[in-house]
Amino acid sequence: MGVVIEREEWALTPLAYPLLAAAALAAVLLLPYFSARTTTHAAGPSSPFDVGAGPFLRFRRTFLILFSLASVVEGIQSVFGEDEFLRCGLGREKMAARLASAAAAALFPGAISGVISDKIGPRRACIFYWVLQLAVGAMKSFSALRCAWINNFILSFASSVFYFCFETWLVVEHEKQEQKQDLLFDTFWLMTFFESVSLIGSQEITNMLVSDDDNRFLFPYAFAATLSVVGILYIRNTSSTTQHASAIGSYQKSFSAHVLRDKRVLILVFAQASIHFAVSAFWFLWAPTIVADGRYAQLSVIYPCFLASRMLGSAGFPWFYGATSPFHNEDSLTIAYIGAGLALSVVAYDYQEIAALVILFCIFHACVGFILPSLARLRTMYLPNELRGGMMIFSLSLANAATLVFLFQGAQRRSVANSTILSLASYGLLGAGACIHMLRRWRKHTRQNTRSL
């Protein structure tokens, strides 16, 4: 008599999506009624989307549209993950080699992209990003080129450019139009919010375009290439006051003086590298962690919850900075880092059921949504604009170096356990939280903000 093994599938409660979405939207829509800025200016705007003078308001709307399109393309290119490698007939070792080559692309060629952006100007760097995405989308649109290794190389290089080019363009434009910094800080969290929304939208787009048929599997890439063409044309026709970045007399000396010799900026470098490495570790390990020991769950319906949690975290950012905040700005960021680190530490050191893992990963992403605009705000306070691209790619290179090492050790040689990688990411986040706390103690109010508030 045969033995039948029943497999129980874990299902996410349907209330998770509306609850997270409602909480994020409530944080956005209720903000004007509780914000001190709109309270003191009764005739001011009633929405965080309609803030600023006429020229900057028009630029910001156009910028957020372009950034959202770029985020959709980013999501389309990365949504398939392991499924794309399996369709190409790649095994575990070849997958690890592809991912390692992508990390190497971001580490070595990508390391100079921030410096080049500071030299040629952020607007041209954004156009270069669209050109890279167009190249990948065009090549993947043909079945013969879909599995070429160069696609992973270019895509990783494009992702490193995306990491800093749009933020740098926004800050330079804001500086030239001499707007108040509150408007810039609002745009930082809106960028994270719109990016999360766009990533969810990219998943829906790919679900509609793709099917089991290999020919239809190419449709999302053709759509990404089309969006890239739209982005190039849109950004070329956008009215902007940004010019080419002025040639710095000695970029190396400026970078050494303002980045390598400034303890505050080095803390921001380490904090950004730690959060980027933690997010990379999550991308590689969240699915194997949830389905460990043969457990089964529909991963495609779980991941949108993480993005919705990220939306909620970014929408909570404007509630925790400013004079009316219950905490100092660095204190809130420290708490977010500690929360993200503790969430990953529980995953690394204790076996959990799927429901507990999903909750912990949602907490982690809510903290990430709060951390990203907070770090952008601190970069604006402590870093010269002409060095922003170089500093951001420096921190990204540190995280990519660690990712490259663990890809070789963990994926190919299998000498590093998944729990070890998650624990190291947790230690990095907790250490970054301690460094941010030190930053508050070192802060000098005369240097905190040299621009008009």
74, 153: one domain:
yes
Q: Is position 20 within any domain?
A: no
> With 90 as the cut, is the pLDDT of residue 51 above it?
no
The answer to whether 375 touches 268, Cβ cutoff 8 Å, is yes
Burial 326-360 (b: 16+ CB within 10 A, else e): eeebbebbbbbbbbbbbbbbbbbeeeeebeebbbb
Which among 217, 247, 277 is the end of a domain?
A: 247
Q: Is position 311 within any domain?
A: yes
The pLDDT value recorded for residue 244 is: 46
User: Rounded to 5 degrees, what angle do the CA atoms 40, 329, 35 make?
Assistant: 20
> Could you tell me which residue, 258 or 228, shows the higher pLDDT?
228
164, 207: one domain:
yes
Pick the range with the lowest mean pLDDT from 33-37, 56-60, 251-255.
33-37
The pLDDT value recorded for residue 329 is: 74
The average pLDDT across 421-442 equals 89
70, 137: one domain:
yes
Q: Is position 443 within any domain?
A: yes
Number of independent structural domains in the chain = 2
The pLDDT value recorded for residue 246 is: 45
Query: Which has the closest alpha carbon to 198: 307, 46, 105, 112?
Result: 307
> Could you tell me which residue, 358 or 120, shows the higher pLDDT?
358
> With 50 as the cut, is the pLDDT of residue 2 above it?
no
The domain containing residue 97 runs over which residues? 50-247
Pick the range with the lowest mean pLDDT from 58-72, 227-241, 340-354.
227-241
Residue found under tokens 């270069």: 128
> With 90 as the cut, is the pLDDT of residue 428 above it?
yes
The pLDDT value recorded for residue 208 is: 78
Q: Is position 26 within any domain?
A: no
324, 257: one domain:
yes
The pLDDT value recorded for residue 245 is: 47
> With 70 as the cut, is the pLDDT of residue 35 above it?
no
240, 256: one domain:
no
179, 257: one domain:
no
Which among 212, 247, 282 is the end of a domain?
A: 247
287, 372: one domain:
yes
> Could you tell me which residue, 215 or 98, shows the higher pLDDT?
98
The answer to whether 327 touches 335, Cβ cutoff 8 Å, is yes
> With 90 as the cut, is the pLDDT of residue 85 above it?
no
Token digits of residue 290: 């949830």
Token digits of residue 297: 């769950």
The pLDDT value recorded for residue 309 is: 93
Pick the range with the lowest mean pLDDT from 87-91, 129-133, 171-175.
87-91
CATH number at residue 201: 1.20.1250.20
Token digits of residue 280: 């990379």
How far apart are the C-alpha atoms of 271 and 398, rounded to whole Å? 11
pTM summary value: 0.87
The pLDDT value recorded for residue 447 is: 44
> With 60 as the cut, is the pLDDT of residue 247 above it?
no
Determine what percent of the chain is predicted with pLDDT higher than 90. Answer: 23
Mean pLDDT value across the chain: 79
Query: What is the Cα Rg of the chain in Å?
Result: 22
> Could you tell me which residue, 61 or 217, shows the higher pLDDT?
61
Q: Is position 442 within any domain?
A: yes
> With 70 as the cut, is the pLDDT of residue 165 above it?
yes
296, 440: one domain:
yes
Determine what percent of the chain is predicted with pLDDT higher than 70. Answer: 78
410, 429: one domain:
yes
186, 211: one domain:
yes
The average pLDDT across 230-251 equals 67
Pick the range with the lowest mean pLDDT from 94-103, 153-162, 173-182, 343-352.
94-103
130, 260: one domain:
no
The pLDDT value recorded for residue 280 is: 87
Which among 195, 219, 247 is the end of a domain?
A: 247
188, 56: one domain:
yes
Q: Is position 295 within any domain?
A: yes
Q: Is position 3 within any domain?
A: no
The pLDDT value recorded for residue 69 is: 92
* Sequence letter at residue 173: E
The predicted-structure confidence for 346-403, as pLDDT tens digits, reads as follows 998 876 788 889 999 999 999 999 999 999 999 988 888 888 888 898 898 888 888 8
How far apart are the C-alpha atoms of 176 and 161, rounded to whole Å? 22
The predicted-structure confidence for 166-184, as pLDDT tens digits, reads as follows 998 998 888 887 777 778 8
Helical (H) or strand (E) element with 38: helix 36-40
Q: Within 13 Å, how many C-alpha atoms sit on residue 235's CB side?
A: 28
Q: Is position 35 within any domain?
A: no
